[in-house]
Amino acid sequence: MIKFYHAPWSRSAGVHWLLEELGVPYETEFVDIRAPGGAPESYRAIQPNKKVPAIVHDGTVITERAAISIYLADSFPQTGLAPSIGDRARAAWLTWLVYSDSVFDPVVAAKAHGSDYMGSGYSYGSFGEMVDNLDRALSSRPYIAGDVFSAADTQIGSGIHYAMEILHVLPDRPAFKSYMERLQARPAFQRYAAKDAAAAQGT
């Protein structure tokens, strides 16, 4: 069984969506990251920085979105959400999963707080570089890592959705809009979004 540590409308949204795509049983443990002082101190035993998401799968703890996504997709290969080890398509898949955490997310966060470029001392570069890179990729293929939907789309897609619809910092370029239309048509996306909305409203 998978236990999923989650807060509605947070950075754990992509993993929530991925779990719905997998179609495997999971149990959600809600973490109140917005409480005064953040999540309870006891949660550090699962996630040392008291952030979401995290999962526990049959006693094994996995944190960080890229790691969780790789672990889950590889653990359930029958879902076809990851190229197999040895498949050259896996290179792009891994690249975009890590890019989501190491470049896309910090650059979007910096932009939302008024910074466009953090200088050469920061590993993730500028917001404009990220936007152009994303636009080139999504203008050349239907999904972020190629012609087939994968776990990488749950992470990049949820990030684009949040940056465009909630933060309003990502430009609504045609490639981004058509990509999100494809993703939002997926039943798993609709299930996760409905569950998150209900949880956020306390129902």
pLDDT in tens, 2-29: 999 999 999 999 999 999 999 999 999 9
Return the bridge partners of 55, or none: 4, 62
What does the pLDDT read at residue 115?
78
Q: Is the dihedral of CA 95, 155, 159, 49 positive or negative?
A: negative
- CATH 3.40.50.1820 for domain 2-80+189-200, yes or no, is no
Among the listed residues 103, 73, 107, 75, the one whose alpha carbon sits nearest the alpha carbon of residue 90: 73
Dump pLDDT digits (tens) for 44-77.
999 999 999 999 999 999 999 999 999 999 999 9
Domain boundary assignment for the chain:
2-80+189-200, 89-186
What does the pLDDT read at residue 202?
77
Span 89-186: which CATH code?
Answer: 1.20.1050.10
Q: pTM of the full predicted structure?
A: 0.95
